[in-house]
Amino acid sequence: AYWRQHKERFVKKLGDAQVLNLGITERAYDRRNEFYQAIHDRYIGDTPIIFLEFGVFQGESILGWAAMNDHPDSRFIGFDTFEGLPEAWKNYNAGHFSTDRQVPETDDNRVRFVAGLFQDTLDNTVRNLPGGPRLVLHIDSDLYSAALYILTRLHDQLVPGTLILFDQWVDIHEYRASTDYLAAYGTHLKLVS
């Protein structure tokens, strides 16, 4: 309850100057792919992106983004253990969302998957990220510790114009990770929808 109240105060405090669309609701779009398409159309268009997804499961989001953005210079990298949640989260036991280590299939050579814990796999990938294209993060890690690790590890790459999509920002874990990151690094964000 504390973190829900904190989030409500946080959103109210942002004010018009920092929020592009104050009509934020938990279900502003009926389907998340409608939200992704709106974000892509409004903020990306025909430009190349580097799309990093944290929490791939069966690949619906990352493959959807690759289909939306067909720029040949775009890159899509999905991080997941493919063994499910490493610990219990909400009503889900550890191991839920497992694909038995099977990564999604695709014939798009711009898409690749990195299997393992973020803490074990992100550093090598970050070292090899090309500069230039806009960075788009899709944080669907569910867990507070994972979301906070992603944000703090990628802090130097989070330049103005970076888009960060939280799949469960309405849940306390990803919301709390984002506010703790902002407080620790003294940085700001704009909410968009």
What confidence tens digit (pLDDT) does each residue in 28-46 have? 566 778 888 888 998 999 9
Distance between CA atoms of residues 181 and 27, nearest Å: 25
Other Cβ atoms less than 10 A from the Cβ of 82: the count is: 21
* 3-state class (DSSP) for residue 179: helix
pLDDT of residue 23: 42
From first CA to last CA, the distance across the chain in angstroms is 25
Phi-psi label, residue 29: left if phi above 0, alpha if psi -120 to 50, beta otherwise: beta
Distance between CA atoms of residues 33 and 28, nearest Å: 12
Distance between CA atoms of residues 123 and 121, nearest Å: 6
**Residue range 153-172: average pLDDT?**
84
**Residue range 168-192: average pLDDT?**
81
Confidence of residue 91 (pLDDT cuts 50, 70, 90): confident
pLDDT at 64 over 70: yes
Confidence of residue 21 (pLDDT cuts 50, 70, 90): very low
Confidence of residue 94 (pLDDT cuts 50, 70, 90): confident
Retrieve residue 135's tokens.
């960075």
**Residue range 11-25: average pLDDT?**
44
**Residue range 84-108: average pLDDT?**
86
pTM of the model: 0.82
For the segment 115-146, what is each residue's pLDDT rounded down to a tens digit? 999 999 998 888 887 778 899 999 998 888 99
User: Chain-wide mean pLDDT for the chain?
Assistant: 82
Q: Identify each DSSP E strand in the chain by its residue range.
A: 49-54, 75-80, 111-115, 134-139, 163-166
Over the range 101-115, which residues count as b (16 or more CB within 10 Å of their CB) and which as e?
Answer: eebbebeeebbebbb
